[in-house]
């Protein structure tokens, strides 16, 4: 487990850990990765949560999505037509039947603050357990625990690109935690991500080294 106060420290430490301990393999799209299984990362503070994104924006070789777009993906219940899937509709309008946050998590935690049932799912077997489907959600489960007046959030990510993906994932979790926290009227607690496949691509190595050494 990697436990740090700030997102930037946790990100850099996890990248270092994967480079040192990861096992090399070629994925189904023929890209070579280094991978570790079941990596748990904890962040104590939400302060400067966007620092990893700011660093990625320093590079001229790509354009990282704007924060507005990253947060819209998790908070909007509408599916933008050119996304293969979107987290928002899975959370707020799952199978067009249930708003998992407003109709379940928030009322549940208001009524039973110590509940262990405040879990939402994003993977939809009806839609995603499909051999030909290229893109299915990486973020599969989000859990909320309200303890000592603080809302803790844990995300299970089945496949996590730790260089490009994790900075956005942690920001999305922050946005969702903040949304629920405000509705409950409580403080923010810890943020955990549990990445079943935590990996980096070999073609990112040059940039990962720069992140570790220059920022």
Partner 1 sequence: METQNQIIELFRKSPNSELSTSEIAEAIEKPEFEEISRALSEKFIDPEKIRKAKRKKAQMHRKILYHLNDLVKENILKISKEGKKGEKFFCLDLEEGEEILIDRVKRVTISKPHAPSLPIEGYEQKGIIYCLDPATWIERLNSILIECAMFDDLKELLHFISGCFSNINDSVTLNEFDAILKKNDLSQVTNFVHKLNSRCNDYGKKICCILNISGLEKQGEFLELMKDAIKASNVSFVFNTAAGELDKNSAFFEKLIKLFFESDANLYFQNNDLHKSPYAIGRAGPYTFDEGEWASYKKELYGKLKCIVCAQSTVIVDAERFYSEEAKNIEQFKQFNLKIADSLFSINSIQRRRSEELFSDIIKLNEKHIEDIFIFSRNYVRFWNYGWKHEDFDQEFLINMFSESKKAVDEFCLSEETIYKSCGMPTRLKIAYSCAFDVFVENIFSKAKYRKFTISNIKDFHKEDIKKIIESKENLFKLFNGGDLISFYRVGNLDAKEILKEIAFIMNNYKLPFFRWNFGGVKERDMDLKRFIEQ
CB contact burial 170-205 (16+ within 10 A = b; e otherwise): bbbbbbbbbbbbebbebebbbbbbbbebbbbbeebe
Question: Which DSSP string corresponds to 127-169?
Answer: HH--TT-----SEEEEEEEEETTEEEEEEEEEEEETTTHHHHH
**CB 149 to partner 1: min, Å:** 30
CB of 1 or CB of 62, closer to partner 1:
62
**CB 116 to partner 1: min, Å:** 26
**CB 212 to partner 1: min, Å:** 19
CB of 46 or CB of 172, closer to partner 1:
172
List interacting residues with partner 1 (CB under 8 A).
61-66, 68-70, 72-74, 78-87, 132, 134-135, 137-139, 160-161, 163-165, 168-169, 172, 201
Q: CB–CB of 33/154 below 8 Å?
A: no
**CB 171 to partner 1: min, Å:** 9
C-alpha to C-alpha distances, 190 to 130, 160, 183, 197, nearest whole angstrom: 34, 20, 18, 22
As a whole number of angstroms, the distance between CA 84 and CA 169 comes to: 17
CB of 155 or CB of 180, closer to partner 1:
155
**CB 156 to partner 1: min, Å:** 13
**CB 168 to partner 1: min, Å:** 4
CB of 135 or CB of 214, closer to partner 1:
135
As a whole number of angstroms, the distance between CA 135 and CA 125 comes to: 13
CB of 90 or CB of 146, closer to partner 1:
90
The phi and psi torsions of 108 (rounded to 5 degrees) equal -65, -50
The phi and psi torsions of 127 (rounded to 5 degrees) equal -95, -35
CB of 139 or CB of 146, closer to partner 1:
139
């Amino acid at each position: 487990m990697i436990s740090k106060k700030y997102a930037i420290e946790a990100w850099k430490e996890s990248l270092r850990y994967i480079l040192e301990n990861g096992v090399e393999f070629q994925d189904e799209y023929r890209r070579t990765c280094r991978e570790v299984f079941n990596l748990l990362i904890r962040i104590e503070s939400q302060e400067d949560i966007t620092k990893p994104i700011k660093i990625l924006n320093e590079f001229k070789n790509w354009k990282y999505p704007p924060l507005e777009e990253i947060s819209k993906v998790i908070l909007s219940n509408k599916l933008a037509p050119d996304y293969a899937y979107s987290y928002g509709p899975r959370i707020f309008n799952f199978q067009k039947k249930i708003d998992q946050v407003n109709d379940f998590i928030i009322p549940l935690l208001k009524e039973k603050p110590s509940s262990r049932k405040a879990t939402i799912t994003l993977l939809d077997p009806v839609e995603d357990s499909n051999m030909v489907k290229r893109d299915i959600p990486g973020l599969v489960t989000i859990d909320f625990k309200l303890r000592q007046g603080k809302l803790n959030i844990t995300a299970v990510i089945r496949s996590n690109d730790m260089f490009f993906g994790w900075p956005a994932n942690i920001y999305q979790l922050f946005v969702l935690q903040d949304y629920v926290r405000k509705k409950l009227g409580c403080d923010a607690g810890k943020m955990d991500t549990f990445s079943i496949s935590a990996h980096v691509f070999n073609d990112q190595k040059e940039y990962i080294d720069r992140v570790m050494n220059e920022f």
